[in-house]
Amino acid sequence: EPEVTQTPSHQVTQMGQEVILRCVPISNHLYFYWYRQILGQKVEFLVSFYNNEISEKSEIFDDQFSVERPDGSNFTLKIRSTKLEDSAMYFCASDSEGYNEQFFGPGTRLTVL
C-alpha cells in the first residue's frame, strides 16, 4: 500500500542553524501539506502546496519557513534559522485531489538546542 515517507525521523540542531525536512508524498497525489505538533499540544496546520505553489499558509508559517518541490517526488520544508520554539514533531501529508482523505507520514521530530 502506498504511503507517505519522511526523513530524517529525528533531527537535532543548534539554534540558528538551517534545517531541511524531507517528505516523499504518495506518487499520484497533487496536494501536499506540512503540519507541526509541539510536545503535548494539538497538531497545527503550517502550509499547503498545489501546482508548485503555496495555496494556503497559517500565521505560524512566517519568513523563516519555506517549502519546495525540487523534483517529481520530494517535498521539503526548510527552516532558515531555527529557534528553540521550533522544536516539535513535523508531519507531512498528501491527498489526491484536495478535500479528500489526507495521508500522513510518520513525522520528523525536530529538537533545537
- Closest contact distance (angstroms) between CB of 66 and another protein is 17
Instruction: Rule CB under 8 A: say whether 1 interacts with another protein.
Output: no
Residue 57 contacts residue 48 (beta carbons within 8 Å):
yes
What are phi and psi for residue 85, nearest 5 degrees? Answer: -75, -5
- Closest contact distance (angstroms) between CB of 100 and another protein is 7
Instruction: Rule CB under 8 A: say whether 86 interacts with another protein.
Output: no
> Binding marks (x or -) toward another protein, 51..80, rule CB under 8 A?
----xx-x----------------------
- Closest contact distance (angstroms) between CB of 62 and another protein is 17
Q: Which is nearer to another protein, 31 or 75 (CB)?
A: 31
Q: Which is nearer to another protein, 71 or 99 (CB)?
A: 99
Mapped to the 3 state alphabet, what secondary structure does the chain carry?
CCCCEEECCEEEECCCCCEEEEEECCCCCCEEEEEEECCCCCCEEEEEEECCEEEEECCCCCCCEEEECCCCCCEEEEECCCCHHHCEEEEEEEECCCCCCCEECCCEEEEEC
Interface with another protein by CB under 8 A: which residues?
31, 33, 35, 37, 42-45, 48, 55-56, 58, 89, 91, 93, 95, 98-104, 106-107, 109
